Amino acid sequence: MNVLVINCGSSSLKFQLINTETEKVIASGICDRIGIDGSVLYYKTPDGKKIEKKEEMPHHTKAVEMVLEALLNKENGAVSSLDEIKAIGHRVVHGGEFFKESVLINDVVIQHIKECSDLAPLHNPAHLMGIEACQAKMPKTPMVAVFDTAFHQTMPPRAYIYGVPYEWYEKHKVRRYGFHGTSHKYVSQKTAEFLGLDYYNSKIIVCHLGNGSSISAIKNGKCVDTSMGLTPLEGLIMGTRSGDLDPAILEYISKREDLDIQSILNILNKKSGVLGISGLSSDFRDLLDADLGGNERAKLARSAFAYRVLKYVGAYCAVMNGVDAVSFCAGVGENAKFIRGMIVEHLEFLGVKLDVEANNVCGEEAIISTPDSKVRVCVIPTNEELVIARDTKTIVSQL
């Protein structure tokens, strides 16, 4: 079955056409600068050619139209008729407490996604635009919503409740939700499969380290804790996000820098993390170069990042009363051997031994601990689009 996977942002639309039998990407691309001057479609054809098409895309409906045109193109398209696209899977960031798994999109689902918009004001409205645009162009094609929050819905109340008045939870749904759920689900399952563990009788920690980073504890196939919270701002130090911090800093800085809450939150989301500490870059490749060149703040940013990951790994071992495997994924986790090394070398207390040679791996599945290591450490490239395609196929096949 061919499934079109759509990931809509406020000004972009990423897509992949996936054959769910072979699990291969047939064609993919991105519409950039939707609603902004200079919109462009980048399209990777089935034979790997990269095509760029500049055309104004004032709204998401036009973007979807261009995607479908590209996929249908006689010369370098991927299908000869839209009937060959059997279903569409949409990534949706926030499903609140409504969605514990992926669902077939209908009017009630759309209403619930709208109701979660307050919790993800930048993301959910954009996803809804993508869903509506697809419905306009392909009204008969079934569509499925796959939520970043769903996998984490198995957390027990003691893990998701904050130490604040309970009424905030009851009235305003203030609680930990967690994000990157499709990645944590895929990587934890893949880790078990790769290591020959019984997923439903295992303890796995997944470190999703990218520009946005989060970590989760998965016990017996269920997420029991994760580092992101009500929003993706909590937890690890990230590319540009602060992660955990003392909430009193907001008032303190607001007075001293004469900033309102909105401006401070903007800084915490976009100008903090390793970018804020280093004053240089959010990209770990730049930080490594600067660190090797003797830049002390780049060194501090890298070590503070690794230290925060280490603290969470320790905490999640305690939460699960042990761990069988720790996996690294996403841009940094899959590629940055130095960062992995800085974390793993401190896991000696768990009986972990880093295989320095194996740790040279970049973007491939690998075990990076030695054969006698008590806990196995892996690199498992994530694939969120494949999870979306798989879930979509499963749901649509039952119709």
Catalytic residues: 148
CA 184 to CA 382: how far, in whole Å?
Answer: 8
Please count the other Cβ atoms lying within 10 Å of the Cβ belonging to residue 83: 11
Which residue lies nearer to ligand ADP by CB, 217 or 228? 228
Q: Which residues contact 221 (CB under 8 A, 6 or more apart)?
A: 188, 189, 199, 200, 202
* 273 annotated ligand binder: no
* 386 annotated ligand binder: no
Paired tokens of 123: 């993301």
Cβ at position 282, least distance to ligand ADP in Å? 6
Cβ at position 332, least distance to ligand ADP in Å? 5
Which residue lies nearer to ligand ADP by CB, 12 or 282? 282
Cβ at position 165, least distance to ligand ADP in Å? 33
* 210 annotated ligand binder: yes
* 333 annotated ligand binder: yes
CA 379 to CA 398: how far, in whole Å?
Answer: 34
Which residue lies nearer to ligand ADP by CB, 29 or 331? 331
SS (H, E, C) the chain: CEEEEEEECCCCEEEEEEECCCCEEEEEEEEECCCCCCCEEEEECCCCCEEEEECCCCCHHHHHHHHHHHHHCCCCCCCCCHHHCCEEEEEECCCCCCCCCCEECCHHHHHHHHHCCCCCCCCHHHHHHHHHHHHHHCCCCCEEEEECCHHHHHCCHHHHCCCCCHHHHHHHCCCCCCCCHHHHHHHHHHHHHHHCCCHHHCEEEEEEECCCEEEEEEECCEEEEECCCCCCCCCCCCCCCCCCCCCHHHHHHHHHHCCCHHHHHHHHHHCCHHHHHHCCCCCHHHHHHHHHCCCHHHHHHHHHHHHHHHHHHHHHHHHHCCCCEEEEEHHHHHHCHHHHHHHHCCCHHHCCCECCCHHHCCCCCEECECCCCCCEEEECCCCHHHHHHHHHHHHHHCC
* 152 annotated ligand binder: no
* 285 annotated ligand binder: yes
Which residue lies nearer to ligand ADP by CB, 84 or 365? 365
Which residue lies nearer to ligand ADP by CB, 26 or 336? 336
Cβ at position 281, least distance to ligand ADP in Å? 8
Q: Which residues contact 345 (CB under 8 A, 6 or more apart)?
A: 354
Which residue lies nearer to ligand ADP by CB, 77 or 239? 239
Residues of this chain that bind ligand ADP (CB under 6 A): 210-212, 239, 282-285, 330-332, 335-336
Q: Max Cα separation, the chain? A: 62
* 209 annotated ligand binder: yes
Cβ at position 19, least distance to ligand ADP in Å? 24
130 closest CA partner among 72, 61, 182: 61
Which residue lies nearer to ligand ADP by CB, 73 or 211? 211
The residue at minimum Cβ distance from ligand ADP is 331
Cβ at position 337, least distance to ligand ADP in Å? 8
Cβ at position 23, least distance to ligand ADP in Å? 20
* 246 annotated ligand binder: no
Known binding-site residue numbers: 7, 14, 91, 208-212, 283-285, 331-335, 384
